[in-house]
């Protein structure tokens, strides 16, 4: 199996005096009562995760769950108290500060909720800025910046200042700036949460378009499950500094680990999450009596109209093999939010 692009093992972040010595004594057995008694505040608690190359891995949770602290630990913008953070097999906690600065400048991209554009620089100047910090010559960095500006759809606005742009346009500049260095690993911490709903939807579309082109390894932070479902290959849900469950959107909807995860998924758009494979029925000798064929990977929302209109079941077929049957009852059950019988 291929090595993950990013992994962490038993990562902790405790705020307060003596946190490292406390964990050295208590280890992973440290419980909330002992942590509180030591006068420490837990932000990240014994977290382990793996992010595959080219994956959009979403970390989500309510405010105060630890998700933003975790992503800052992964890039060592915040120093973890304990654990391992492996980037392409190398433990970043063993890297020197100089090495980490070089890794962040050349191999990581970061986009945050607040755009943090430099108001005295134009769009071109903002996008080229991280390359200027690297010492790239002006001609090369401006060529690269113009390429990124075209990629995010802002060509023609190179000479505008941030104050002359809408919120969505400013966030596109932030995305272009983070991509200018050609990062292998891209961190995005609630990048769209400050935007109006319509602009937010547009930026999600833009993000998916960019990922289809660039195929980056992405860690994306959000508190919005609908956003997570729309963007993620897999989702990790956090509570009180711990990861409660990790899985695909479909796995979280079908088998929530506890009531906390179930509460997140209760209002999820099930028809846009569940695949045909998850609701298909056994063939039961009905071979040949089908209105057509569907893929087991198809989303229910994409096939519902055809199944509803046909009046007959569809064969679920993969690589020429009949796997099961998708009928109207199963589709309706998903659409109205009940379990199919």
DSSP labels, 87-125:
ETTEEGGGS-HHHHHHHHHHTEEEEESS----TTS-HHH
Alpha helical stretches, state H, the chain: 19-26, 32-37, 67-74, 97-106, 123-134, 138-151, 167-179, 197-214, 225-231, 249-254, 259-265, 270-273, 276-279, 300-310, 328-336
Q: How many whole angstroms from its chain centre is CA 305?
A: 30
Residue 293 tokens read as 């064929």
Structurally, the chain folds into a number of domains equal to: 1
How many Å apart are CA 261 and CA 250, to the nearest integer? Answer: 12
Average pLDDT over residues 4-33: 91
pLDDT at residue 285 is higher than 80? no
In the prediction, which pLDDT does 129 show? 94
In the prediction, which pLDDT does 265 show? 87
Quickly tell me which residue has 């990124």 as its tokens.
148
> Range of 307's domain?
271-336
Instruction: Give the CATH number for residue 305.
Output: 3.90.1280
Residue 306 lies in a domain: yes
Q: Residues 221, 73: contact at Cβ < 8 Å?
A: no
What pTM was estimated for this model as a whole? 0.87
Give the tens place of pLDDT for each residue, 141-200. Answer: 999 999 999 988 899 999 999 999 988 899 889 999 999 988 899 999 988 887 788 888
Average pLDDT over residues 287-310: 89
Residue 80 lies in a domain: no
Residue 275 lies in a domain: yes
Of 55-69, 87-101, 271-285, the least confident: 271-285
Average pLDDT over residues 324-340: 83
For residue 43, name the pLDDT band (cuts at 50, 70, 90): very high
Mean pLDDT of the chain: 90
Which of these, 140, 130, 82, 137, lies nearest to 110 by C-alpha position?
Answer: 130
pLDDT at residue 282 is higher than 80? yes
In the prediction, which pLDDT does 210 show? 87
Quickly tell me which residue has 């998903």 as its tokens.
334
Residue 307 lies in a domain: yes
Residue 310 lies in a domain: yes
Average pLDDT over residues 311-332: 91
How many Å apart are CA 6 and CA 4, to the nearest integer? Answer: 5
Residue 237 tokens read as 């849900």
Average pLDDT over residues 74-86: 95
In the prediction, which pLDDT does 200 show? 86
Residue 1 lies in a domain: no
Residue 282 lies in a domain: yes
How many Å apart are CA 339 and CA 58, to the nearest integer? Answer: 27
Which percentage of the chain shows pLDDT scores above 70? 97
Residue 157 lies in a domain: no
How many Å apart are CA 71 and CA 334, to the nearest integer? Answer: 34
Give the tens place of pLDDT for each residue, 215-274. Answer: 999 999 998 888 999 999 999 999 999 999 999 999 999 999 999 999 888 888 889 899
Of 27-31, 53-57, 69-73, 97-101, the least confident: 27-31
Torsion angle defined by CA atoms of residues 47, 50, 51 and 52, in that order, rounded to the nearest 10 degrees:
180
How many Å apart are CA 102 and CA 124, to the nearest integer? Answer: 23
pLDDT at residue 15 is higher than 60? yes
């Amino acid at each position: 199996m291929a090595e993950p692009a990013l992994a962490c093992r038993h990562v902790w972040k405790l705020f307060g005096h003596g946190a490292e010595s406390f964990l050295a004594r208590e280890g992973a057995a440290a419980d909330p009562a002992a942590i509180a008694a030591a006068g420490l505040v837990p932000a990240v608690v014994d977290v382990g995760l793996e992010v595959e190359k080219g994956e959009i891995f979403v970390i989500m949770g309510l405010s105060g769950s630890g998700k933003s602290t975790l992503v800052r630990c992964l890039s060592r913008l915040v120093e973890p108290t304990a654990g391992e953070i492996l980037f392409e097999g190398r433990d970043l906690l063993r890297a020197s500060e100089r090495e980490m600065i070089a890794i962040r400048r050349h191999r990581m991209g970061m986009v945050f909720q607040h755009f943090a554009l430099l108001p005295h620089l134009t769009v071109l100047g903002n996008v080229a800025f991280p390359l200027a910090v690297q010492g790239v010559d002006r001609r090369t960095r401006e060529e690269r910046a113009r390429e990124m500006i075209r990629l995010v759809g802002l060509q023609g606005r190179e000479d505008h200042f941030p104050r002359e742009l809408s919120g969505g346009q400013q966030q596109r500049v932030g995305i272009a700036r983070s991509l200018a260095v050609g990062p292998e690993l891209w961190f995005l911490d609630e990048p769209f949460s400050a935007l109006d709903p319509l602009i937010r939807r547009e930026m999600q579309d833009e993000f998916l378009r960019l990922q289809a082109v660039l195929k980056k390894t992405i860690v994306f932070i959000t508190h919005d499950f609908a956003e997570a479902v729309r963007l993620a290959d897999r989702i990790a849900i956090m509570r009180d500094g711990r990861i409660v469950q990790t899985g695909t959107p479909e796995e979280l909807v079908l088998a929530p680990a506890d009531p906390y995860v179930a509460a997140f998924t209760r209002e999820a758009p099930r028809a846009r999450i569940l695949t045909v494979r998850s609701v298909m029925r056994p063939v039961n000798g009905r071979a040949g009596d089908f209105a057509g064929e569907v893929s087991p990977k198809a989303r229910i929302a994409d096939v519902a109209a055809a199944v509803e209109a046909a009046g007959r079941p569809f064969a679920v077929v993969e690589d020429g093999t009949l796997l099961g049957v998708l009928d109207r009852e199963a589709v309706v059950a998903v659409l109205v939010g009940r379990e199919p019988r």
